Amino acid sequence: MTHISKPRVIHPSLERNELGLTVRDYEGSMSTLCAGCGHDSITAALIEAVWELNIPLHGVAKLSGIGCSSKTPTYFLGDSHGFNAVHGRMPAIATGASAANKDLVYVGISGDGDSLSIGLGQFCHAIRRNLDMLYVIENNGVYGLTKGQFSASADVGSRAKRGAVNQQPPIDSVLLALSMGATFVARSFSGDKTQLVEILKAGIKHPGFALVDVLSPCVTFNDHVGSTKSYMYTREHYHAAIHADFVPPEGEIAASLEPGAVQDIAMHDGSVVRFSQIPWHYDPTDRDKVDEYVRERQARGEVVTGLLLLDEAAEDMHGVLGSVETPLRDLPVETLIPGRKALDQLLDEYR
C-alpha cells in the first residue's frame, strides 16, 4: 500500500472556525514519514495556521518539489489544490500559477536539498520576483530519502550518522534571503509550535515572498551526537530572539508589554504583526541590522529564531508586472482577442 487515507472522525465538541470547519477538516492523508520527524510538527502547525486564518481549503494551492519535506503537502489541507513538482523547481510552478491566478493562497513546502542545492537558482529568483507565497524550508541538514548525505545547509564540523564530517561551509537560507532582498524572513524550530504558528500566519498574510526556514530534525539520519541539526543540539542552541504575534484585522491587540519593547507593523489587509522582546538596537525593518544581528549570534553558536525581517512596502510580482486586478485566467476571451478588423489593420503595416 502506497497511500494511506486518514479516517475523518470529527468530535462534535471540536472548535469550529468562521467557516464552520474544525481543525480536522484541514488535515490531509496519513503521514508516511518516520515517527518523530520534525516535518510532521510543521505539518500540524500549518494546519492550525490555515484553520485559524479561516481560509477556505479550495482557496489554497500547496506546492512542493521533491524530498521528504516535499511529500508533506499530501498530509495537510487534503481538500486544497496540490502540486508536487520536480526537484528544486517548485518556485517556477508557483510563479506561473500566481501569474495566472493571483487570488489563491500559495503555500510552498521545500527542504534544504530542494531549495539550497538543486533549486538554489529558483529559490533566489522567486525572492527577486517577490512572489506572493509562503515558502517553508523544512531544514534538517541532510538528504533523507537517499539515506543520509549532507545537504548544503549542513554546518562545518557536523558529523553524519556514518561518521563523515562536513567540511564545506553551509548555505544559510536566512542570510541568503536577507541579502537577496526578501521581504519576509523568519526562522523557527519544529519543536516550538507556538512560535511557528504565529510566523506561518503572518507569512501567509504577507503580500510577497515569505521565507520561513524551520529547523526540523531528521530522527533517522541526523539526530545523533555530533549533528548540529539534532533535537538536542537545536534545543540547546536555539534562541527565540524576536517574538512576533499575528493579530488579524478584527482581533484585539493584547495588553502591551513594556514601552519601547514593542513594535507594530501593519499588514496590507489591516492585520498587524506585533513584535516584542526586541533586543536592543534591533529593528525588524532594517535589513542591515537584522543581518548583523543574525551573524553576531551565529558566531556565538546561537540559532536565532523568530520573524526576523518584515518589509510590507515592496511591490510583489504582479505590481512589477503591472497586471490587472482580475486573475488573468478569468479574463473573458473577448478582452483578449482583438478580432478580425484589428488584424487587418495590423497586417496593413506588413506591406
Partner 1 sequence: MSAREEQARVNDFALKIGTVNGTGSASANALLMQAIFRMGIPISGKNIFPSNIQGLPTWYEIRVNEHGNTARTPVFDLMVAMNPATYERDIAEVRSGGYILHDDTWPLAETLRRDDVHFLGIPLAGMCVENFDGSRERILMKNIAYVGALAALLEVDTEVVKELLQERFGARKRALLDSNYLAIKLGYDYAKEHFDCPLPIRLERMDENADKILIDGNSAAALGCIYAGATVAAWYPITPSTSLVDAFTDYCRRFRKDPDSGRNLYAIIQAEDELAAAGIVLGASWMGARSFTATSGPGISLMNEFIGLAYYAELPGVFFNVQRTGPSTGMPTRTQQGDLLAVAYASHGDTKHVALFPADPHECFDFTVRAFDLADRFQTPVFVVSDLDIGMNDWVVPRFEWDDAYVPDRGKVLDADDLERIEKFHRYLDVDGDEIPYRTLPGVHPKGAYFTRGSGHDKWGNYTEDSAAYREVVDRLARKIDSAADAVPEPRVLGMRDSRFGVITVGGCHMAVREAFEELNDRGLCFDYMRVRGFPFHASVDEFLNAHELNFVVEQNRDAQLRSLLLLETSVPRERLRSVRYYGGLPLSAHHVVEGILEHLPGVESCDDSIDLSVPRPEGAVR
Residues that bind partner 1 (CB under 8 A): 2-3, 56-59, 61, 73-74, 78-86, 89, 91-101, 103-104, 121-122, 124-125, 129, 318, 321-325, 327-329, 331, 333, 335-340, 342-344, 346-347, 350-351
Q: Which CB atom, from 3 or from 162, has the smaller least distance to partner 1?
A: 3
Asked if 94 and 48 touch (Cβ cutoff 8 Å), the reply is no
Longest Cα–Cα distance in the chain: 76
Which residues are CB-contacts of 339 (< 8 A; sequence separation ≥ 6)?
Answer: none
Q: Which CB atom, from 299 or from 333, has the smaller least distance to partner 1?
A: 333
Q: Which CB atom, from 117 or from 222, has the smaller least distance to partner 1?
A: 117
Nearest distance from C-beta of residue 107 to partner 1, angstroms? 12
Nearest distance from C-beta of residue 125 to partner 1, angstroms? 4
- Collapsing DSSP states into helix, strand and coil, what is residue 273? strand
Q: Which CB atom, from 84 or from 263, has the smaller least distance to partner 1?
A: 84
Residues 102-136 as b/e (b if ≥16 CB within 10 A, e otherwise) read bebbbbbbbbbbbbbbbbbebbbebbebbbbbbbb
Q: Which CB atom, from 245 or from 316, has the smaller least distance to partner 1?
A: 316
From residue 205, alpha-carbon distances to 55, 121, 217, 246 in Å are 11, 25, 27, 9
Nearest distance from C-beta of residue 12 to partner 1, angstroms? 22
Nearest distance from C-beta of residue 93 to partner 1, angstroms? 4
Asked if 176 and 124 touch (Cβ cutoff 8 Å), the reply is yes
Q: Which CB atom, from 285 or from 323, has the smaller least distance to partner 1?
A: 323
Nearest distance from C-beta of residue 90 to partner 1, angstroms? 8
**Amino acid identity for residue 317 in this structure:** M
Nearest distance from C-beta of residue 89 to partner 1, angstroms? 5
How many angstroms separate the first and last alpha carbons of the chain?
65
Asked if 135 and 209 touch (Cβ cutoff 8 Å), the reply is yes
Q: Which CB atom, from 40 or from 245, has the smaller least distance to partner 1?
A: 40
Q: Report DSSP state, residue 230.
A: S
- C-alpha 108/C-alpha 84 separation (Å) is 10
Q: Which CB atom, from 256 or from 326, has the smaller least distance to partner 1?
A: 326
Of the candidates 232, 216, 233, 211, the one whose C-alpha atom is nearest the C-alpha of residue 33 is 216
- C-alpha 347/C-alpha 319 separation (Å) is 33
Residue listed under C-alpha cell 470529527: 10
Nearest distance from C-beta of residue 42 to partner 1, angstroms? 19
- C-alpha 33/C-alpha 218 separation (Å) is 10
Nearest distance from C-beta of residue 1 to partner 1, angstroms? 9
